[in-house]
Chain A
């Protein structure tokens, strides 16, 4: 069992896989919708919960942190940055940016390996 998990950690975090998963979740929740202040809470919660559920289904020994920011599209400015202190061989991150006519959505996934 130890060797099985070490194999997973050697491969590291698969950012492309996570990117696809999250993009599908966002498309499912926000696709075709316009910005609506009443629903925004529910949408953010759905995106985050569904992303987390799908990531867990990958069955890898990781702890996940999923952050979602949804902003209304207007003439404003918005910046995001992150800084991480971790083991770069096993841990990883992925950011998905999605937009439509009325809103922008930025989802960050951070995955930290569990060493068993």
Chain B
């Protein structure tokens, strides 16, 4: 599932580059940087570097043409993304029972799927961060909070919590406008 998503993302990414090159006059680059887990069994990663992306040093010296655009042309559709989150979490987790290996894989899969579906909305100039937490529903207590330093006029987030009898899942999507 993940490899086919990656292929789709690459295709979508290259289409978008060509499209934006034709319509604007400058070139707008957007490169996908998913967090890939190495093949070990650790489910937490403190820093992942993508050596492949840094080789392209010529990107750093690209001068972008001024578009005189002050803000996003369309606001980020929070309600639509809420529905996407609800949809994805319900479809993937409704029937599932909590198991460590399954949920380890499921968090990664779900975050990739959500990212792909939000990208398909083709909201221009928005960078996305998708965070997914899945935990076992027992009598322990958990608190998850986040705070953001950004421009509240253009940046926003979307969130959904799913519960069934044995597990809970929280998915957050943060959308940051890219000048």
Residue of B nearest to A90 (CB): B60
Flag whether B30 is at the interface (Cβ < 8 A): yes
In the complex, B24 has a CB within 8 A of chain A: no
Q: Which residues of B contact A97 (CB under 8 A)?
A: 44, 46
Chain B proximity of A37: nearest CB distance (Å)? 6
Decide if A64 touches B149 in the complex (CB within 8 Å).
yes
Contact A82 B31 (CB under 8 A): no
Contact B140 A88 (CB under 8 A): no
Main secondary structure of the interface of B (DSSP, over half): mixed
Q: Is the CB of A83 within 8 A of B135?
A: no
29 A-B pairs within 8 Å (CB atoms) are namely A37-B141, A45-B147, A55-B149, A63-B176, A65-B174, A65-B176, A66-B147, A67-B146, A68-B144, A69-B133, A71-B143, A72-B141, A77-B135, A78-B134, A79-B134, A81-B110, A81-B111, A82-B130, A83-B111, A83-B130, A84-B33, A84-B35, A84-B128, A87-B33, A89-B53, A89-B54, A95-B44, A97-B46, A110-B129
Spell out B's residues near A (CB within 8 Å).
Answer: 29-35, 43-48, 50, 53-54, 56, 59-60, 64, 98, 100, 103-104, 106-108, 110-112, 114-115, 119, 127-136, 138, 140-151, 155, 172, 174, 176, 178-179
